[in-house]
Amino acid sequence: MPDIPWSTPTAPAPDAEVYVMASRFETRTLAGAFRFFLKSPGIILQIRKAPGAHGVALRARVFSRTFLTLSAWEGQGALHRFARSEPHRSSSRAAAAFMRESTFTYWTAPASALPVSWTEAERRLAEEAARS
């Protein structure tokens, strides 16, 4: 399945520091992976409209039942407001029923580091998984 490439809803100031989140989700079943994938475009659209969103990308490996997300925000508060809003809130609660494993990692970076590479995101996710 194709990736949804990085898009920048609102560019941060060149000298700003951004709050980055990477996540890895693995579903229990292929049906769960298709459910997750079908919800993804709506969530990506929601992020693109969310106040404080500076970037978003998705790496979907449906047949491997694995998804990676990457987003950048003006701060932790902007990310939390998005996470508590619809449709993300309901979708994430529903997805919990078919998730096998989830990993999240967060860090700050200079705006000049955007877009964050998948290599960097995967490295940080692997480090977080090893700590857990």
What pLDDT digit, counting tens, does each position of 14-48 carry? Answer: 999 999 999 999 999 999 999 999 999 999 999 99
Name the strands in the sheet holding 99-110, side by side, starting at the edge strand that comes first in the sequence.
4-7, 53-61, 66-73, 17-27, 99-110
Tell me the CA end-to-end span of the chain in Å, nearest whole number: 29
Axis crossing angle, helix 76-83 with helix 88-95, rounded to the nearest 10: 70
Task: Write down the pTM of the prediction.
Answer: 0.94
Closest CA to 78 of 55, 58, 112: 55
